[in-house]
Amino acid sequence: MRAITYNEFGSADVFELKEVEKPIPKDDELLVKVHATSVNALDVIFRSGESLLFGMTKLMAGFKKPKYNILGFDVSGEVESVGEKITKFKKGDLIYGCLRFPGANAEYVCVPEKLASIKPANMSHIESAAVPDAGGTALTGLKDTVSIEEGQRVLIFGASGGVGTYAVQIARTFTTEVTGVCSTSAVDMVKSLGANAVIDYTKENFTENGQTYDIIFDAVGRKVTSYSKCKNSLTKNGIFVTVDIQSTVFKYMFNKNVKGYMGNIVTEKLDYLRDLIQMGKVKSVVDKVFPLSQITEAHRYYEEGHPKGKVVITLQD
């Protein structure tokens, strides 16, 4: 099968298109013919060998050389065969999922049953491949990490990015008071996702406008914003939630107003997202689609192009 491989850490130039053996599913896995995958922050971290989470990313990705030679965490495709212990899926099912260990930048990948779900019927593979990691991360932050009630004011920082576009829509399923923060070129798009207010950060600093929010969701991380910058924009019991768990795990361990987290995307969350998508409450924003052979360009665009929504890689469509 065709696969994009890499044998050393570095820039997007490390990728090579090669013929490799088709994987064999374990008893609890599905063999999936990949139709599409997407580029996520974790792909770039694994490719570059960057050390984050106090070295945990190096432990996962490898220290001197890559532990996994094929990247790709999101997958949307068709079940080719199933392991002996599989009960929920069969050959021919169209599924989507988020892998714990990469491998979806290839024509076939093995997906553990507990990390897969039937893909949304009203989405193409390109659209559904954009969902798992980014949508699951947004869902975990806004549903499992905090509880949003109708009438509460929620601000999404980084509302036009991969996680942010889903966060705006998911927040809207809980409350009508959703504000998005993004650049000028993304204002109309963020409004179209359901934000009842949008702040252009090139023209206004939301931390200085006197408005307060019950929840501020940082969908960017990388210390672009922080609790210390945002605390005066929170209500008395307001919570700052961030995808940047490294910046919060020790510094704010005992502060109930700060919560950092990781996604942990499993079947139940994918089922929940599928229901929202099929009800028309959530959609994917796909900025650009690249064929597998142009994965180097896809990674460069992800890192340099400030994409609105997701960057998707297609194999079959």
Q: Classify the C-alpha dihedral 194-197-199-203 as positive or negative.
A: positive
Instruction: Quote the mean pLDDT of the chain.
Output: 94
Looking at the structure, tell me whether residues 124 and 146 fall in a common domain.
no
- Taking residues 239-258, report their average pLDDT: 81
Tens of pLDDT, residue by residue over 18-58, are 999 999 999 999 999 999 999 999 999 999 988 766 567 77
**Rounded to whole angstroms, how far apart are CA atoms 221 and 286?**
21
Whether residue 219 lies inside any domain: the answer is yes
Domain count of the fold of the chain: 2
Is the distance from CB of 17 to CB of 73 less than 8 angstroms?
Answer: no
Last residue of a domain, one of 245, 260, 275: 260
Check whether residue 98 and residue 180 sit in a common domain.
no
Is 103's pLDDT higher than 70?
yes
Order the strands of the 197-200 sheet from edge to edge: 197-200, 178-182, 154-157, 213-218, 234-242, 258-260
Contact 167, 141 (CB under 8 A): yes
pLDDT at 128: 99
Q: How remote is the C-alpha of 48 from its chain's centroid?
A: 18
pLDDT one-digit tens code per residue, 149-170: 999 999 999 999 999 999 999 9
Q: pTM of the prediction? A: 0.95
Pair (90, 161) in one structural domain:
no
* Mean pLDDT confidence for 125-145: 97
| CATH number reported for the structural domain that contains residue 61 in this entry | 3.90.180.10
Question: For residue range 74-93, what is the model confidence (pLDDT) as tens digits?
Answer: 999 999 999 999 999 999 99
Q: Are residues 182 and 83 in the same domain?
A: no
Are residue 16 and residue 126 in the same domain, yes or no?
yes
Do 124 and 52 share a structural domain?
yes
The one-letter amino acid at 291 = P
